[in-house]
Amino acid sequence: MFALRSLPVIALTLSLIILSIACGGDSYTNSAVINTPAPQVAATEAPPSTSPTTIPIKTLSAKSTAEATQAPTNAWLSAPTDTSVLRGPRLQEFERNLPYLSDFANNKSDRFIVDFEDVIAAHPYPGQRSPVPHNDAQVYFSNTDVRWRDAEIPSDYPPIYAVADGIITGVASYSLNDHTEYDPPWWHAKYGLGITFAREGDVKINFIYAIEPYINLENKPDDFYEQFILVKRGQVVKKGDVIAYMYIPPPEEKVGVRSSTHVAFALSRQGGTNWDTYAPAIFSEDIVKEFGDLWLNPKEGWGSPSYGNDWARARGVPVGMGWMIDASENPFTDWPLDVISYDGVRDLELDGQARLNATDIGFAKEDLLFFSDGNGDHVSEEFDIPVEWQIMVASIGGPISINATLSDGRTMSISDDGPDSGYRQRISPVMQPGLTSITVSDPSAWGWAFAIAPAGSPHVIPGENNSNPSCPPGCPPLP
């Protein structure tokens, strides 16, 4: 498509903490855990008081006020100028002086991983208490944006920033996500970075970036992504440094049915497993609000051709950096939270209920005949529909079933999903005029919506307009 300027070869791989962040259950590094969901962890009861004195702070040792690291006041706007690599005693001294993770409860970063003008959608960190847990948050890019279609060199693509001062401890210029167990089989190659930026006692905390264009590098060299990485392992970076560029492929290069070009991010406890992660709740309130707006109002709408199934993880979810997280996923306190945006204490007061809007799930508002939404079980009133009609249903989690009782007394199943179901959206076949009622069984109260419109009314289902990927079928053999 075009010639790209080469940067020095970076032939290092990440440790087990990098990379599994990907759509649909990719693991940080190894394909053995792909599509293996995290265990559901039961919520424990929050304390009767929300006073900070009643909440165990997640800090393994205390720091004096004089030692506390304050958030940097100025963000750098360019690539790192100091490319020296720390090793041995210098590295150990640097790591000893890292701030405690608890410092970020109130000293939030004002530098997000990308510029918001460059991304079109997002989802927060879905915790182990959510319908379908995942170990990252994500931001998505448009594959049809003319800025990326006309790009010629790496710096023409969106910059990816260091979100805090730290040291690069993971660089992967080629990481394989093997989905050949799927039918049809497919796979893709990604790249990624890790920054050690904080600690909990002697445990180092990493900010993980999994950079996933969703291509398999067919007709490209295996070192193609190296030119998009600006840092090397052991290099000190400052908040705001440009550490990489995001390669955004044209639609014809994408692979896989879940192909949304994205960067996934989370906090990882060094030396832990793929699921020893924290929700990335280290950002300022302004960033959290703008991040939330990306899934409440995706810039290209739910009909975007760049959409893959993973966008829907945030449908109806309240604004925050994480949703329905377990205590082990809370970076600041030892309590599970329905939403995390702040310091782990204020968050106890946030409303974590996910809610769908029936007027905005697929049909145009002006075409709606009847609609309803809610959480929990529901039986609608009986209504008379004078024309042939279709019903659109959406649900956030399972188990859930939605049935229509027709005028002749028959019951038709519109949706029936089990307990491991995430967001689902469906449209029914054409129904005949007559009296109808809708029954919803939603025992976990995750949330649902339905909307009825005349048969053949224009509609949008997320992912429906996704362009046909080059793979599958036809993926080249695994390397």
Asked if 307 contacts 142 with a C-beta cutoff of 8 angstroms, the reply is no
> What is the percent of the chain where pLDDT is above 70?
82
pLDDT of 154: 97
Asked if 190 contacts 19 with a C-beta cutoff of 8 angstroms, the reply is yes
User: What pTM did the predictor assign?
Assistant: 0.83
End-to-end CA distance of the chain: 22
pLDDT of 313: 87
Angle at 338 between CA 335 and CA 344, to 5 degrees: 45
> What is the percent of the chain where pLDDT is above 90?
66
pLDDT of 27: 35
Q: Residue 44 pLDDT more than 50?
A: no
CA–CA gap between residue 318 and residue 320 (Å, rounded) = 6
Phi, psi at 121, each rounded to 5°: -165, 175
DSSP 296: H
Of 285, 344, 378, 269, the C-alpha closest to 57 is 344
CA–CA gap between residue 60 and residue 243 (Å, rounded) = 30
Q: Residue 351 pLDDT more than 60?
A: yes
Q: How would DSSP label each residue in 309-339?
A: GGGGGGTTPPSSSEEEE-GGG-SSBSS-EEE
Residue 367, burial from CB neighbour count under 10 angstroms (0-12, 13-18, 19+): middle
pLDDT of 83: 65
Band (pLDDT 50/70/90 cuts) for residue 79 is low
- Strand blocks (E) in 300-459: 322-325, 337-340, 370-374, 378-379, 383-385, 389-395, 400-405, 411-417, 424-427, 434-441, 448-454
Q: Token pair for residue 286?
A: 């302004």
Q: Residue 127 pLDDT more than 80?
A: yes
- Strand blocks (E) in 202-295: 203-215, 236-237, 242-245, 262-269, 277-278
* Helix, strand, coil in percent for the chain, rounding step 5: 15, 30, 55
Residues in the chain: 479
Judged by average pLDDT, the poorest of 61-65, 90-94, 167-171, 317-321 is 61-65
> Which domains, and CATH codes, for the chain?
23-349 (2.70.70.10), 363-454 (2.60.120.380)
